[in-house]
Structures are given as structure tokens and as C-alpha cells.
Structure 1
């Protein structure tokens, strides 16, 4: 029914919670240009003619602290880079800044 609404009203950009977005990507849609999602870890993405943007962030940052465009064909579902006025750091158990690609605790800083 949501897809019917989007297509009937020519909705071109939407933001859907992660769980709903993952389900929505499974069906064909002809009106969207951009699907933004956030609120939880994106576990899967399906190639679509519209752009998929993954937004990620802890509750303290009102959902969005990082953002990136997703290419489902790449296989990796990145949380992206920090949005404007925000910095993100990945820290080890000893509170040392980790290099890019190394697992750890996400810490967010800045005016965002």
C-alpha cells in the first residue's frame, strides 16, 4: 500500500526506517529517485533504479551522524562518513583511536 501511495502521488524522495526500507527495496517502484534510510544497521540492500542512502548514528545524535550512498552490487554496506559539523572516531577497548576499517566503539563529536 505504501508503494501504491508513492506511485499514485509521484513521491520521488522518502526516508524510511531501516527495517521498512529493507522490505520496500524488495518490490518494484517507478516513482522514487532517492530512498534514504536510517535508525538501525542496514543488513541488506537490493539494486534499484533509485539511489539508496544509508544514514547511521546513535540515538543521542537523532539517528543521523554518518551518511553514504549505497551500491548494493558492492556487497559492503558502509555506514559512511560523518555529516557536516560532526566527527566520528572508532575507539579500541583501551580508548585508542583505531585506523579506518578496524572494529571498535563508535564515538561521535562536534556540533551536530
Structure 2
């Protein structure tokens, strides 16, 4: 379970980057494109590590059910962010997509917190 605690803080860092991107978008400041890629890359690496932590323990591992719910929420947020901001809305980012993506990711991070602590 120690690894899940590290992954929680990893996802908090990714979420903080997403909050920074949303704030920069709100005040209409141009930011470099690598910042979006860093946010998505950090989240993807956290997801891969979470999958490893949840499925490498074997059938006898005592993993809380909340960790699997967190994985589902975070995967949905990641895929939504990749689809919305990587494919559909590359230039104009609608607020409903930003709030939906961030809200889903926040729910996943909160559930991951409950699983880790």
C-alpha cells in the first residue's frame, strides 16, 4: 500500500499542473505546448504505475476496493482529457470540457486518497 500513497501524491502533482493550465486559460495567458504534454505525461505515468500496483500483488493482496474505483475514474478523466484537448478542441478549450475533465480527475484523486490513507 505504500506505493499507492506515492501514486496519490504523484496524481496530486498532475492535478496541480492541470489547475495551473485551467488558470492560465481563464486569464488568457499563452503557455507553451510542452506544459500540456507534461501534465498528460505525468498523469499517464501515474496511471501505469497505479495499474502495476493494483495488479502485481496477486490474488492474496489486500487492496481496497476504492483503489479500483479510483483507477476507473482516473482512466476516464485521462481518456476524456486526451480526447477533448488532444483531438476535438486543440485550440479552443470550452469550459464545460475543462470542468468535466478536472472534476472527474478530482473525484479520482479523492477516492485514491481514501484508498491510500
- Shorter-normalised TM range: under 0.3
Higher helix share: 2
TM-score (norm 1): 0.25
Q: Which has the larger radius of gyration?
A: 1
Which structure has more relative contact order (CA 8 Å, sep 6+)? It is: 2
